Structure 1
Amino acid sequence: MDIAEVAKRSGVPASTLRFYEEKGLIASIGRHGLRRLFDPGVLQRLALIALGRSAGFSLDDIARMFAPDGRPRIDRRMLAAKAEELDATIRKLIGMRNGLRHAAACPAPSHLECPTFRRLLKSAASGAKRS
């Protein structure tokens, strides 16, 4: 498949495909004129890259998930660690959502008089200090 067909079938722009090739995430198998050619297996590899990106892995992390021969070599400990990280993020987001819902319906005359809203402020301030 040429790069235009890979872009069309995968939904990944040709510029991104060229970037992924520069990073070593995918490899062309040759050229037809000026167009790069790819093995059909590149579509599965692109799907794995998309899954990794959706889960929050960096491109460098994803690159380490492939053996030198291009086959997936996914570190299960790394997956478990990412799942724990996502769990922590989910807990934080649920707390934030619940606090915002409370603040939206809180009968206090001012949000600053609402203990729940004040906890949200304190949490946001401590998070800003860590960044």
Structure 2
Amino acid sequence: MELLDIGDVSERSGTSPSALRYYEKRGLIEAISRKGLRRQYEPSILPRLALIRLCQAAGFTLEETAEMLPDEPRFTLDRDKITARADDIDAQIEDLEKLSKLLRHIAKCTAPSHAECPNFQAVLNSLPHKKVPR
């Protein structure tokens, strides 16, 4: 079996060597051996890293990601957690669309002042009362 050293894994996955070492420290990945000071990984690490990136993009913490990561090549992710995260993202999209609508109205509003614009006031009142992620 051909092993990949940390530089190869970094180049192929787009994950920095420091992130790979951090993931290993957190138990998300495992080096099989070392060649000198360079960590060696099985090629199966690449899809695992892609899954870690997917979880990060979806907003899962590393702890949540570690709980969902499989130990074997065939696996099933926690469908309830994935569905809940998708629902959260849908809610964020809805909130961001409202914010975008308000900003576009502010930019194009022809009222003498925004305080006098009923459309502005209606959109402003429809915004959620929670923080919108940046």
Q: Tell me, yes or no, whether TM beats 0.5.
A: yes
Alignment of 1:12-91 (within 5 A): 12-67=15-70, 69-71=71-73, 72-91=75-94
Structure 1 stretches of 4+ with a deviation exceeding 6 A read none
For 2:39, what is the secondary structure of its paired residue? strand
| Whole-Å separation in 1 of the counterparts to 2:39 and 2:119 | 57
| Whole-Å separation in 2 of the counterparts to 1:23 and 1:116 | 50
Runs (5+) with no aligned partner, structure 2: none
Confirm or deny that 1:105 pairs with 2:108.
yes
> Number of paired residues?
127
Deviations 1:1-37 (A, max 9, x none): 1001111111111000000001111100010000000
Name the structure, 1 or 2, with higher relative contact order (CA <8 Å, separation 6+): 2
1:8 is aligned to: 11
Distance verdict in 2 for CA 1:82–1:125, change over 3 Å: closer
For 1:37, what is the secondary structure of its paired residue? strand
Distance verdict in 2 for CA 1:81–1:12, change over 3 Å: same
TM-score by length of 2: 0.84
Shift of 1:73: 4.2
| Root mean square deviation of aligned Cα | 2.0
For 2:112, what is the secondary structure of its paired residue? coil
